[in-house]
């Protein structure tokens, strides 16, 4: 049995100073780096997901309700879509990009980024060209299965959206799933509902 760590969306736009900042996002980036330095040997595989929006339709809004619609963020190949500088990518084996042309909260909606095209970007928002989606692209579930993963640990941003969606999808896909609450940060001040929803779905939540 293999064990994998899934680092969800620890990107500049979700950390302080970003377009859709989560309070404590930068601290989570640093905490995950410290965790990796201390515990990377406990995982057979470590992967990361990225919001990677090109034209995500109604996901973006000039008047967002901050529930289903959001201000523009994590545009593909922009600085905002890059991993936060405090997250050390040394141990990350693969990156999965999601939300190119639709809203996508779960990392299981992501597709494998080519090894020679891993997260960097210097284009300004609005300077994007359409990217073709390869119908044969490898999704996160396929990748985990091909590496004999049976257990996953999920960390990252934001607890009550993409972390929650990724963890619940992991359970539904058959993985033994744990969320380390101390290595996440959420949009809501009170995350008890998010924790309970995950636990009800079969996720083990390691709370502080």
**40-45 mean pLDDT:** 96
Task: Give, rounded to a whole angstrom, the gap between the first and last alpha carbons of the chain.
Answer: 27
Between helix 164-172 and helix 192-200 the angle, nearest 10°, is 10
Q: What angle do CA 136, 70, 171 make, to 5 degrees?
A: 50
Adjacent-strand bridge partners of 176: 151
Of 12, 29, 3, 20, nearest to 161 by C-alpha is 20
Residue with tokens 């996901």: 59
> What is the predicted pLDDT for the residue at 121?
42
> What is the predicted pLDDT for the residue at 122?
45
> What is the predicted pLDDT for the residue at 115?
77
> What is the predicted pLDDT for the residue at 126?
42
- Please give the full DSSP string across 53-96, using - where no structure is assigned: BSS-GGGB-SS--SSS-B----BTTBGGGSBPTTS--TT--EEE
Question: Which tens digit of pLDDT belongs to each residue from 87-144?
Answer: 999 999 999 999 999 999 999 999 999 876 654 444 444 444 555 556 678 999 999 9
> What is the predicted pLDDT for the residue at 1?
82
Question: Which tens digit of pLDDT belongs to each residue from 43-88?
Answer: 999 999 999 999 999 999 989 998 899 999 999 999 999 999 999 9
CATH topology of domain 2-206: Rossmann fold (3.40.50)
* Catalytic (active-site) positions: 9, 98, 162
Q: Which residue has the higher pLDDT, 133 or 150?
A: 150
Between CA 158 and CA 189 the distance in angstroms is: 12
pLDDT at 186 over 50: yes
Of 205, 158, 156, nearest to 177 by C-alpha is 205
User: Cα–chain-centroid distance for residue 13?
Assistant: 12
pLDDT at 181 over 50: yes
Question: Which tens digit of pLDDT belongs to each residue from 8-35?
Answer: 999 999 999 999 999 999 999 999 999 9
């Amino acid at each position: 049995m293999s064990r994998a760590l899934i680092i969800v969306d620890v990107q500049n736009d979700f950390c302080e100073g970003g377009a859709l900042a989560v309070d404590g996002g930068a601290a989570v980036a640093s905490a995950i780096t410290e965790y990796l330095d201390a515990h990377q040997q406990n995982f057979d595989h470590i992967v990361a997901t990225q919001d990677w929006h090109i034209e995500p339709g109604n996901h973006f809004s000039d008047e967002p309700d901050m529930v289903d619609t959001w201000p523009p963020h994590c545009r593909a190949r922009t600085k905002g879509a890059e991993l936060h500088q405090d997250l050390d990518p040394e141990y990350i084996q693969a990156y999965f990009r999601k939300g190119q042309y639709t809203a996508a909260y779960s990392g299981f909606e992501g597709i494998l980024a080519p090894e020679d095209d891993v997260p960097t970007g210097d284009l300004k928002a609005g300077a994007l060209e359409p990217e073709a989606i390869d119908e044969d692209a490898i999704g996160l579930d396929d990748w985990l299965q091909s590496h004999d993963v049976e257990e996953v640990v999920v960390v990252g941003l934001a607890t009550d959206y993409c972390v929650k969606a990724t963890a619940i999808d992991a359970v539904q896909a058959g993985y033994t799933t744990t969320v380390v609450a101390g290595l996440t940060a959420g949009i809501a001040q009170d995350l008890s509902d998010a924790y309970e929803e995950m636990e009800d779905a079969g996720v083990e939540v390691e709370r502080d």
